[in-house]
Amino acid sequence: MTIKPLLDRVVLKVEEAEEKTKSGIILSSAAQEKPQFASVVAVGPGGVVDGKEVKMYVSVGDKVIASKYAGTQVKIDGEEYTIVNQSDILATLE
């Protein structure tokens, strides 16, 4: 079963706190509310959103920082994901 985001949506998988510590990232205290550090699982094709052409800047596998309160959480095959608009992604980590 594959999840295919529409338009400018991006599917994120929140990074587990222990993985983060390994790569040197420490989650802020508010991390339990909503994903902030996440990896990109699926990227929509972009297109005309609200009458404006949106290009996609993130790719599957990117480590990203997303707005704390953005997105919709879904559970597919027992795994939790967050679907955000690309505009809710603030930065990538390299």
- What whole-number distance in Å separates Cα of residue 69 and Cα of residue 62? 20
DSSP reduced 3-state for 88: helix
The CB-of-52 to a second copy minimum distance in angstroms stands at: 3
Among 13, 39, 42, 46, binds a second copy (CB under 8 A): 42
Residue among 37, 27, 84, 46 at smallest CA distance from 64: 37
Residue numbers of the site for a second copy (CB under 8 A)?
1-7, 9, 11, 23-28, 36-37, 42, 44, 47-55, 57-58, 65, 67-68, 72-78, 80, 83, 87, 89-94
